[in-house]
Amino acid sequence: MAIRTEPFYLNIGPQHPSTHGVFRLRVMLDGEVVVGLEPIIGYLHRGIEKLAETRTYTQNIPFTDRLDYLSSMTNNLAYCMAVEKVGAIKVPERAEYLRIIFSEIMRISSHMMAVGFFLNDLGAMMTPVLYMWREREKIMDLFEMVCGQRLLYNYMRIGGVSQDLPEAFLPAVKKFLADMPRYIDEYDQLLAQNEILLARSKGVGILPRDMAIAIGASGPVLRASGVKWDIRKMDPYSIYDRFDFEVPTGDCGDCYDRYWVRMLEIRQSVRILEQAIAQIPQKGPVCADVPQFFRPPRGEAYGYVEAPKGNIGFYVVSDGSIAPYRVHIYPPTLINITALQDMVMGWKVADLIIIFGSIDVVLGEIDR
Amino acid sequence: MTVAINCEETGKKLQDAIAGSVISTGKTDILVDANKLQQVAGFLKNTAGLDFDYLTFVTAVDYLEYMEIVYRLVSLKNNRSLILKTRCYNREDPVIPSVVSLWRAAYYQEREIFDLFGIKFDGHPDMRRLLLWEGFVGHPLRRDYL
């Protein structure tokens, strides 16, 4: 006699077990197999877009830190670039270099968190994360050195950055860059050919190329699906056209590719950093002359950068007053989870956790 | 460089293909009639030479007189970008055609606009609030909300 079965709903979250943030998944299961999924978001919604309309342009910079709080620098940068486009402000040379240096250090830090927690989701409880945190700690020290903060930096300003480097910074970052390749080799040695990692992530949660483009995915998620699209290369903002680096891509867009693309990108970031440190002008202003109550002319602009998690953008509309008329935040991770349902269909619950982990989401950005 | 496409030229092309679709063209943006949005979007996506296959953002701006919906399209093939705009004058029951069938990227973003601006997207498969809870009254990103 056949056993009667029926699908049932499982509620995962709002507190995700490995704390990517306050995210809730309503999963329909047939036994252990996922047959339906609905992400429910909004638990961290703070209405930043509305708040931004009542504050001056500069006062809005700290809000951007609190979007994707693992890559505050690139959020700062995207917002400042949007306002600079509206106000037609030219950023001094040295400030451009500082922006690139901190964006790339941020990318290394964010990717290490992504990979560490991806392995955590895989069941490698805390060990890979601690390895990754060993280096992230040094990155935090670098940031603390320059802006006194370890997580929410509020470092960029409209027209440049808030302060110049302390004397000890360049030697410290050089030492960090000299050590970094050795550490990446160590991670690769431990992880890249690890049998369990391969078995669990190869061919799991495939995001096909066409679907990646259709859902507007960006960042490592898009590149892992084989689309060679990196804004730093395709639309070089700031001074990215001066650096020599490659855009790694994956073959088929499975979880392993998303992990591997991130590891390769860390190496490329180290390359960019080495060049930037060698080229940075010795002296010079680090911020353009922008009044405290800055009033850009009427108009609108879209500033966007290649953040570690994808293409983050700010659409800023100015009405000529000291506060923006409208700020829209384009969040890469919200877009990247659009196809989550298709990616997890037919996989088991345990795979669902790693597929979700491999996208690398931060709920501060999804909910805004 | 992702160069903004020549809007005047593209506007003319659009006007020739779909009569009465273009209201005005700016330097980097084209303003189109909301009733023709679906056709315009299909034309931009599927015409050779334009190939706007990648939608980055969809958002709305409330100018009180009207609400403007802004789309930024990118052609990954040609490395071109375009900002497409349309306007909605009805504040009581605003409806705009959905573009989800063309670009799935709009799926969450249109829901978000419905949530925060109250603009309904006709043809969206699941038009519900996204960030705020069911039963929330009002649409907070409208300028007259607060």
Q: What is the pLDDT along chain A (368 residues), one digit of tens a residue?
A: 788 888 888 888 776 544 667 888 889 988 888 898 888 888 888 889 999 999 999 899 999 988 888 888 999 999 999 999 998 888 998 999 999 999 999 999 999 888 888 888 888 788 888 888 888 888 999 999 898 888 888 899 898 898 888 888 889 999 999 988 898 898 888 888 888 888 888 888 889 999 999 998 998 999 999 898 888 888 888 889 889 999 999 888 898 999 999 999 999 999 999 999 998 888 888 888 888 888 889 888 998 999 999 899 999 999 888 899 999 999 998 999 888 888 888 888 888 888 888 888 888 888 88
Domain that holds residue B30: 3-105
Query: What would you report as the CA-atom Rg of chain A, rounded to the nearest whole angstrom?
Result: 21
When CB atoms are compared, the residue of B57, B105, B130 closest to A41 is B130
Task: Report the distance separating Cα A155 and Cα A65, nearest Å.
Answer: 9
Residues in B touching A41 (Cβ below 8 Å): 130-131
Instruction: Give kind and range of the element (H or E) at residue B95.
Output: strand B95-97
For chain B, first and last CA: distance in Å? 40
Q: Does residue A33 belong to any structural domain of this protein?
A: no
Listed in order, strand segments (DSSP E) in chain A are 8-12, 24-30, 33-40, 156-157, 160-161, 299-307, 310-318, 326-330
pLDDT of residue A20: 66
Asked if the ipTM is above 0.95, the reply is no
- Give me the CATH number covering residue A165: 1.10.645.10
pLDDT of residue A117: 85
Encoding tokens for residue B54? 């990648």
Domain that holds residue A286: 57-367
Q: What percentage of chain B exceeds 70 in pLDDT? A: 99
Closest CA to A115 of A135, A136, A134, A129: A129
Say how many domains are in chain B: 1
pLDDT of residue A19: 63
Q: Is B141 on the interface with A (CB under 8 A)?
A: yes
Q: Does residue A78 belong to any structural domain of this protein?
A: yes
Q: Does residue A330 belong to any structural domain of this protein?
A: yes
User: Span B71-89, mean pLDDT?
Assistant: 89
pLDDT of residue B24: 80
Q: Does residue B88 belong to any structural domain of this protein?
A: yes
Closest CA to B4 of A273, A366, A301: A301
Contact residues, chain A to chain B, C-beta under 8 Å: 41-42, 45, 47, 49-50, 211, 213-216, 227, 229, 231, 234-236, 302, 304, 311, 313, 315, 317, 325-326, 328, 330, 334-335, 338-339, 367-368
Q: Does residue B98 belong to any structural domain of this protein?
A: yes
CB contact under 8 A, B108 and A338: yes
Q: Does residue B128 belong to any structural domain of this protein?
A: no
Contact assessment for residue A355 and residue A340, using Cβ atoms and an 8 Å cutoff: yes
Closest CA to B83 of B33, B26, B40, B38: B26
Task: Report the distance separating Cα B131 and Cα A49, nearest Å.
Answer: 13
Q: Does residue B85 belong to any structural domain of this protein?
A: yes
Q: Does residue A175 belong to any structural domain of this protein?
A: yes
* Tens digits of residue pLDDT in B24-56: 887 888 888 888 888 888 888 888 778 888 998
pLDDT of residue A16: 56
When CB atoms are compared, the residue of A214, A235, A367 closest to B1 is A235
For A233, A264, A286, the CA distances from A302, given in Å and listed in that order, are 18, 29, 23
When CB atoms are compared, the residue of A213, A315, A335 closest to B59 is A315
Length of chain B: 146
When CB atoms are compared, the residue of A45, A49, A236 closest to B1 is A236
Residues in B touching A367 (Cβ below 8 Å): 131
Q: Does residue B121 belong to any structural domain of this protein?
A: no
Q: Does residue B129 belong to any structural domain of this protein?
A: no
pLDDT of residue A13: 73
Say how many domains are in chain A: 1
Report how many helices (DSSP H) and strands (DSSP E) chain A contains, helices first: 15, 8
- pLDDT surpasses 60 at B123: yes
Q: What is the pTM of this model?
A: 0.90
Closest residue on chain B to A330 (Cα): B57
- Give me the CATH number covering residue B101: 3.30.460.80
